[in-house]
A and B are shown apart, each in its own frame.
Chain A
């Protein structure tokens, strides 16, 4: 009989454990046991980012003792799948970090709240702020800005007998020419530059030809522009300004640490300006930013500022006021700025930027100076891309690879790219 009793108690215990675990799983927001309002904040990134974010959260909680911020952190690779799952499961975090290419995905599906008037945005450049607005509603507040630029290692350029270009008026021909000369001079040890398939690059290239990447819900790029863009890539491979197609593709799939510039085997490359610090660190060299080359006779250089990340609030949040308060702190409070510095792009708020400027690392000062120098020439920041734009970089890369390996003619690839890209953003 005693065995029967034991069995029952074991079963009860197991059930109790299950019940407790289940309770943990369904605990979504609301008030903590100690009467504090719980606000969940999701973001992605490195361990370093997590540490500084936790520090900023502590500061906020010290100022707002009735709010408990719960950071939900993951690496970039799995960020969007967890986020989408949470949102789909009606378990959305109250404050959500997002990239501009995914903004419409969430905003147009009703997942985000209008933050106009809830977060102070007076210190943010109106044009940059406008990128977070869709149909007149301010769904997102930019954390900081980046510019897609040309990164150069001046030392490697000069060591190989070349002069740094005058970037105020250099053309794509100058760029290709310089790249192939560097490779030739170094005897193939150093490549002039490396291929980029980044949509930011194409955006600039198209702007110089008077075209927009996105025209509403369609692509604004003409087949001729695409062909000219690919033709530059092909020329670079032919003149050995970049490695051959296979190696270019291989490097393209790797992080910036493994890039030619990062490993001191290349003199130039194109990246978002926030990569400057990483390249500097990986190469141990003093790298700097240049304006992107221009098309002959172009009226505009086509460069633009883009939000590095944006803060949004869930439309389903039970504590919209507290969520907005936290976003406001992260954007506008110099104390948060001092901790985060340029980790989320150069601070979008001019007040915060002025307050923390002294503390920024050298590469950021360099980037800041560069952006100030080119500011008057910049095009307006493009609006948030249409839904489905998250896959654009992959589509562009794939067709570029078809071109580089000679598996498609440029005419064919341009047509197919436009068809596929348009279909992917129409849905």
Chain B
């Protein structure tokens, strides 16, 4: 077996390209068949577990479906209701947008700053990297969301610290003006994943650029602005796209910190949480499905805009 595997790629390379293209030898047909066979379980999974439900949810978004009864076709009613009769929906959009717009740039700035520090060639880099990455592993977890309530609660850690300076802090998680802020901080805190990617990006920049710049008398700030930042734009772009998508789909933080209500007074009602409440508490699956599709359109639209805009600021070394 080992022999035949080792031989195959060689054969593939030495075989001349066939004219007309579509006819193949017995052997490669057999290989193709085997490949499809191996892929079959995955295809079946994709069809049954992913594409099937996606299409079903598209259909359901045009129905009134209570889960317990047959779905009933209602046309665009769900979509119309969202934007005309449901102030909570509009509010959930607002809350989510604020969350994304504030937390994503903050998180990326934080990740980049730390990556720059770590890139200086600290001793024990691997340890620091792991420590800073840890919050990303924990951030979406129930335990951290509960911890957050303890940290930002009326009698929590933050207020104890403020108390030491004689400041009486409010109950941050219980106050509609501050609750979303605590969730934004939680999100920024999970900067590990983009940090690692930035770090990898920084490592790609040839040190000769910096040496040349230093010879020409450029200070660290100038070097950062003229070398690091432009060469890092593809990485920044990648992180930006990824984090925007991820933050629009945030759910756990709000679900746990607000005990599944989006409170206080709907101030942390994330889009996905409202979707969940509609679907699984109020048994309004049709409406929830419609919400999911609008979210998909929003995210797809934003990602598209992101890609279009990237032409103007993302610099790929090999193109001008």
Contact = CB atoms under 8 A, between A and B. Distances in A.
A232 to B, nearest CB: 19
A401 B281 contact: no
A109 B68 contact: yes
Interface string A231-251: 000000000000111111111
A88 B37 CA distance: 33
Given A109-B68, A253-B263, A405-B176, A3 B1 contact: yes
Nearest to B30: A4
Contacts of A248: 174
Contacts of B77: none
Nearest to A80: B280
Interface stretch (A6-14, A212-220, A355-363): A6-14
Contact of A397 (B170, B261, B277): B261
A254 B155 CA distance: 14
Contact of B69 (A109, A247, A250): A109
B142 to A, nearest CB: 10
Interface string B34-47: 10011011001000
Contact of B264 (A87, A249, A254, A388): A249
A249 B1 contact: no
A246 B170 contact: yes
Given A7-B34, A77-B260, A424-B282, A250 B176 contact: no
Contacts of B283: 84, 105
Contacts of B149: 250, 253-254
B67 A84 contact: yes
Interface string B1-43: 1001100000000000000000000000010001001101100
A95 interface: no
A250 B174 CA distance: 5
A28 interface: no
Contact of A398 (B37, B170, B265): B265
B175 interface: yes
A18 B173 CA distance: 47
B258 interface: yes
B154 A243 contact: yes
Nearest to B34: A7
A272 interface: no
Given A81-B280, A88-B67, A109-B69, A249 B263 contact: yes
A391 B282 CA distance: 7
Contacts of B264: 246, 249, 401, 405
A424 B4 CA distance: 67
B139 interface: no
Given A401-B265, A405-B264, A391 B154 contact: no
Contact of B261 (A105, A394, A427): A394
Contacts of B192: none
Interface in B33-73: 34, 37-38, 40-41, 44, 66-69
A63 interface: no
A168 B5 CA distance: 88
B201 interface: no
A79 B259 CA distance: 15
A81 B281 CA distance: 8
A250 B173 contact: yes
B171 interface: yes
Contacts of A109: 66, 68-69
Given A11-B37, A105-B283, A246 B5 contact: no
**A interface bracket (residues with beta carbon within 8 Å of B):** 35 or more
B1 A6 contact: yes
Nearest to B65: A88
A106 interface: yes
User: Looking at chain A's contact residues, is the secondary structure mostly helix, strand, loop, or mixed?
Assistant: helix
A388 B287 CA distance: 14
A286 interface: no
Contacts of B68: 84, 87-88, 105-106, 109-111
Contacts of A397: 261, 263
Nearest to A401: B265
A105 B66 CA distance: 9
B30 to A, nearest CB: 7
Nearest to B156: A250
B163 to A, nearest CB: 14
B135 interface: no
Could you say which of B1, B44, B69, B175 has the most chain A C-beta atoms within 10 Å of its C-beta? B175
A245 B37 contact: no
B154 A247 contact: yes
A397 B170 CA distance: 20
A217 to B, nearest CB: 16
A376 interface: no
B276 to A, nearest CB: 8
Given A105-B68, A245-B175, A3 B4 contact: yes
B267 to A, nearest CB: 9
A397 B264 CA distance: 9
Could you say which of B5, B171, B264, B281 has the most chain A C-beta atoms within 10 Å of its C-beta? B264
A405 B175 contact: yes
B86 to A, nearest CB: 10
Contacts of A77: 260
B4 A250 contact: no
A402 interface: yes
A407 B177 CA distance: 11
A174 B221 CA distance: 68
Contacts of A401: 176, 263-265
Given A401-B176, A405-B175, A427-B284, A11 B66 contact: no
A246 B174 contact: yes
10 contacts: A2-B1, A18-B44, A81-B280, A84-B280, A109-B66, A244-B170, A246-B171, A249-B263, A253-B259, A390-B281
Interface of A: 2-4, 6-8, 11, 14-15, 18, 77, 80-81, 84-85, 87-88, 105-106, 109-111, 243-251, 253-254, 388, 390-391, 394, 397-398, 401-402, 405, 407, 424, 427
Interface of B: 1, 4-5, 30, 34, 37-38, 40-41, 44, 66-69, 149, 153-155, 170-176, 258-261, 263-266, 277, 280-284
Given A84-B283, A87-B68, 9 more contacts: A3-B5, A18-B44, A80-B281, A246-B172, A246-B175, A249-B263, A250-B171, A254-B149, A394-B261
